[in-house]
């Protein structure tokens, strides 16, 4: 892929897990980057995280902006060649009021897309989710032509928020006859190394397995490495083939029991707490009454959803790393950052 040639990219949500990797990769490829934070006091935190990967700090500027406010977005978009809209809430558990997620996701997306289109940027890459694809379609093979059915029963606020926000972005672009200015990347569960101690909720499955639980629910997810998602975002940003298109970002579907096997194989004694038993669905449903993290996924128990990725591979040349490597590196990173406590007797 070509270097940035000094072009400028606006990346929203600079303190986020995926945003950090996107920023670092952009800087390494020679782009100038503007990123946004709600709290400007977090700028040193961003620079410290990015500094673990690149020393191109002189090409990074950090700006205050809030997705719930119109202020600053128009000014930040002016002079940018591209926009990566990465910022969006990803809760550890679902709120009782769905609007707590839907409103900032939808309105924030519209603020960013509107400002970017007004500023005449070449491409806006919106980070959506397979949540905008799989809702009501669990247990079947799906691709980018499929949309979550908002009338389906049991949709979580997160699934609704990602679907509504992405649809709103496409509707706005089409109203302006600018569909080709937009591309979306729809990742599955994002895993991989952490850049700071501030870990993403998307690492929760591996974290829970390493910290131990009596038994695993019969749940499975598609997984993808954060570095590969960042790479796909940049490919979608610059490739003519990405204009007006959605791209699923997934490496492989694995049941939690399969993730557990990888952890035991790769980490040995350090994975001693990883469970070996699979819990009956009835028990998991009962547990979900008391555990918001489990409640979010009860509707997917026992369902295998396969996502087609031929579009990203064939059109953009995307080639993600093996998911087993990503799982192992995620675990190593969680241990390194103190998110998982491994008994010292297990070292050596």
| Residues annotated as part of the active site | 162
Question: Given its phi and psi angles, is residue 293 left (phi above 0), alpha (psi -120 to 50 degrees) or beta?
Answer: alpha
Let me know: does 87 contact 12? Beta carbons within 8 Å.
yes
Residue with tokens 């390194």, as numbered in its chain: 336
CA 111 – CA 90 distance, rounded (Å) = 19
Give 284-309 as a DSSP string.
HHHHHTT-HHHHTTGGGTT---EE--
Residue 44 exposed, middle or buried by CB count within 10 Å (0-12, 13-18, 19+)? exposed
As a whole number of angstroms, the longest Cα–Cα distance in the chain is 63
Task: Using the Cα atoms of residue 33, residue 336, residue 321 and residue 304 in order, give the sign of their dihedral.
Answer: negative
CA 345 – CA 348 distance, rounded (Å) = 8
Q: Quick one: angle between helices 157-175 and 99-119, nearest 10?
A: 20
Let me know: does 335 contact 347? Beta carbons within 8 Å.
no
Rounded to 5 degrees, what are φ and ψ at 8?
-110, 135
Let me know: does 271 contact 263? Beta carbons within 8 Å.
yes
3-state secondary structure of 104: helix
């Amino acid at each position: 892929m070509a270097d940035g040639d000094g072009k400028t990219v606006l990346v929203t949500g600079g303190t986020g897990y995926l945003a950090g990797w996107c920023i670092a990769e952009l800087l390494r490829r020679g782009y100038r980057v503007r990123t946004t934070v709600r709290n400007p006091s977090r700028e040193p935190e961003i620079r410290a995280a990015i500094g673990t990967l690149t020393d191109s700090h002189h090409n990074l500027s950090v700006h205050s902006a809030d997705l719930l406010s119109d202020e600053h977005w128009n000014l930040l978009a002016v002079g940018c060649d591209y926009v990566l809209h990465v910022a969006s809430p990803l809760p550890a558990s679902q709120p009782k009021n769905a609007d707590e997620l839907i409103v900032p996701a939808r309105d924030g997306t519209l603020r960013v897309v509107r400002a970017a289109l007004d500023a005449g940027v070449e491409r806006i890459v919106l980070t959506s989710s397979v949540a905008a694809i799989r809702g009501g379609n669990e247990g079947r093979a799906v691709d980018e032509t499929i949309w979550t059915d908002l009338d389906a029963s049991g949709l979580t606020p997160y699934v609704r928020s990602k679907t509504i926000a992405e649809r709103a972005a496409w509707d706005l672009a089409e109203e302006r006859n600018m569909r080709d200015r937009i591309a979306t990347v729809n990742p599955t569960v994002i895993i991989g190394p952490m850049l700071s101690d501030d870990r993403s909720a998307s690492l929760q499955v591996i974290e829970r397995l390493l910290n131990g639980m009596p038994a695993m629910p019969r749940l499975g997810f598609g997984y993808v490495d954060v570095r590969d998602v960042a790479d796909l975002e940049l490919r979608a940003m610059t490739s003519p083939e990405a204009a007006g298109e959605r791209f699923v970002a997934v490496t492989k579907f694995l049941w939690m029991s399969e993730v557990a096997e990888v952890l035991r194989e790769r980490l040995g004694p350090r994975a001693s707490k990883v469970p070996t038993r699979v819990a009956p669905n009835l028990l998991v449903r009962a547990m979900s009454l008391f555990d918001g993290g489990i409640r979010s996924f009860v509707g997917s128990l026992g369902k295998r959803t396969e996502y087609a990725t031929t579009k990203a591979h064939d059109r953009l040349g995307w080639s993600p790393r093996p998911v087993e490597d990503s799982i192992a590196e995620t675990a190593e990173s969680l241990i390194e950052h103190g998110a998982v406590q491994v008994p010292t007797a297990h070292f050596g």
